[in-house]
Each structure stands twice: as C-alpha cells, then as structure tokens.
Amino acid sequence: MLDNLNILVTGGTGSFGKKFTEMILDRHKPNKLIVFSRDELKQHEMQQMFADRPDADVMRYFIGDIRDKERLYRAFNEVDLVVHTAALKQVPACEYNPFEAILTNIIGAKNIIDAAIDTGVKKVIALSTDKAVNPTNLYGATKLCMEKLFVQAGAYSPLGGTKFAICRYGNVMGSRGSVVPLFIEQRKKGKITITDSRMTRFWITLEQGVNFVVKCTDMMNGGEIFVPKMPSMNIMDVAKTMAPDCVVDFVGIRPGEKLHEVLISEDEARHSVEMDDMYIVKPTEPFSGSGEYAESKEVPEGFRFTSNHNTEWLKDEELLSLVADVVP
C-alpha cells in the first residue's frame, strides 16, 4: 500500500524515523522517502547508514524545522503521505522551556496541517503519547493540543482532501529515553535508580510501533486516534529481569510523572471501539468519514485502558526476548 508513494517523515532522524525508514525500504517500494529534520549531523549520519543500500536512491534529506511553515510548503510538494514524529519530547526540558515546547509541538502541528491541506497531501498521521491523556506536565499538554488539532483538521480540509489521524502509544523499548537502555548502562556500576516501586508501564518495540502506524495509515478515515493493545509490566519486575544482582536506589517520582500510564480515558471510551489488536477513539464530527470499522465492537461502560488495569502482562522471558531484539 506504500509502493510508488512519496513519503515524508518529520523528525525523521529520531529513533522511530530511522526504524520506519529501514522497514519501509525493506518491505515496500516507495517512489521517494524524505527525511525531514533540523539536525544536519544526524542527517549526515543517517545518510551514511543507508548509503550502501541498493534502494538508497529513493532517499531524500531535507533540513528544516516544523516551526517554519514556508519550509514545510517546499518539503510537502508532491508528497502523498506525511508521518509526523517531530516534537520536543523531554519532560524536564519542556517544563524549563515552555514557549519552545509550544512553538514546536502545537504551532508546528498547525503548520503541518496548513501545509498539508494547501499542497494536497493525501494523508497525515501523527505520533502521540500516553502523556496526552489527562496530562500532568507541559509535554503531555502540548501533545493533547496536537491531538485536538489533528482530529479537528478534517473540518478545514475540502471534501476528498487531506485526511488526518493519530497513533497514540506508550513506552517504546530501546528508544532514547527508554528505561531499558538506562538499566543496561546503570547495571555496569551495580546500582539502578527507580522512582517508585508501584509504577507500571505499557511496552512496545520500535518495530511494533512502525507496523502499527503503517496499518493505521491504510485503514484511517480521518480524525481517529488509534491505540494498540500492549502488555504492561511493573517497573520492579523490569528491574529484577534486567538487573537482578543490582542494588535499587529509589529516587522518588519526578515532577509531572505518573504512577500508571493511561492510553484511553473513561470519557474517550464513550466513543471508542475495540478490535482484535487495537482500540479506536472515533471522531465525533461527521466530516471525518464513516467512522465504521469492520469487526469492531463498542467498549464496555466505564472502560479505561491503563497500564495497571491491563489484561495482558509481559512475562520476564518475553521481556528478555524483546530486549535482545532491540538493544545491542
């Protein structure tokens, strides 16, 4: 379904962008795959990484910032699909630099919407986070605003024009900021740090995340928030599996951090449906397409998808198997 398309990835030099590029080139035949980011060094390193591939000629490297609308107009020319991953993601940095977080995560999202509609991009799908649900920090609040903008963007798109949707999921194992590589590094010194022993988290790998985004790109009608079904694990079980012989230093919950992740709130559940491998928060506006999905069912009254009330839990051996695949 991605063959012969011109695809652009914002924040394309990040963990997801590099994995997305690798998997798309391995499994599909895009006409053009454009890496859009603001870091010239990371683009150079990524170009070296993919230089020896026989299909490297479809790659394009476009330096730019999503805050710069004019640059987006130039980059989106003749693009069919935009995968939007660019964001300021570090919670402490966003708290200390709130204006910068707003300019990138909210105003940048608006720029993408405007540029995509005006240049005739067919589909735009954006990556969000559990932190956007009942946010307790600025990063989560900006991602909530980004979601609201994308869900409502169909109202500005002409009939048959650009479609917008969201993929929302939790911890990506092995990505920058993930606790798994942190534990692997800390265990060399015999001590790991944990904020709170009660903490639970959802788990998904980069490969699973890319597969999910590709699937949602195919099935989106516009205005949906797609949430994959993911297993949970208690942070102490992660620690015992990853660093069984290490001393644990409890450092306390950081500002803006939650004990448990929430991917669908009770309020969102009122217009959500369940499928075999995902939940879909349907748009409430009629402009967003039919909103009907084959083999879906309404979620029960009072439903909420949280990491501490999950029906699927990751076993120790499953975690080790996943870690072996994603962390050198």
Q: Does residue 149 fall inside a structural domain?
A: yes
Segment among 116-120, 212-216, 248-252, 283-287 with least mean pLDDT: 283-287
Phi–psi pair at 56, nearest 5 degrees: -65, -15
Rg of the chain taking only CA atoms, in angstroms: 20
CATH of the domain at 268: 3.40.50.720
Residue 176 pLDDT: 66
205 within 8 A of 172, measured Cβ to Cβ: yes
Q: Does residue 224 fall inside a structural domain?
A: yes
Q: Does residue 86 fall inside a structural domain?
A: yes
- Active-site residues: which are they? 131
Domain count, the chain: 1
Q: Does residue 322 fall inside a structural domain?
A: no
pLDDT band at 286 (very low <50, low <70, confident <90, very high): low
Q: Tell me the three state secondary structure of residue 306.
A: strand
pLDDT band at 291 (very low <50, low <70, confident <90, very high): low
For residue 327, pLDDT beyond 90: no
Q: Does residue 193 fall inside a structural domain?
A: no
Which pLDDT tens digit goes with each residue over 70-122?
Answer: 999 999 999 999 999 999 998 889 999 999 999 999 999 999 999 999 999 99
Name the more confident of 195 and 288.
195
Q: Where are the beta strands (DSSP E) in the chain?
A: 6-10, 32-37, 59-63, 81-84, 123-129, 163-169, 172-173, 191-194, 200-202, 204-205, 225-228, 232-234, 247-250, 262-264, 272-274, 278-281, 297-298, 305-306
> What's this model's pTM, rounded to 2 decimal places?
0.93
pLDDT band at 287 (very low <50, low <70, confident <90, very high): low
Nearest to 183 by CA among 237, 231, 131: 237
pLDDT band at 185 (very low <50, low <70, confident <90, very high): confident
Q: Does residue 155 fall inside a structural domain?
A: yes
Q: Does residue 129 fall inside a structural domain?
A: yes
Residue 288 pLDDT: 53
Q: What is the DSSP string of 102-168?
A: HIIIIIHHHHHHHHHHHHT-SEEEEEEEGGGSS--SHHHHHHHHHHHHHHHGGGTSPTT--EEEEEE
Domain encompassing residue 90: 6-170+203-229+263-305
Mean pLDDT calculated for residue range 283-294: 68
Mean pLDDT calculated for residue range 293-310: 91
Q: Does residue 164 fall inside a structural domain?
A: yes
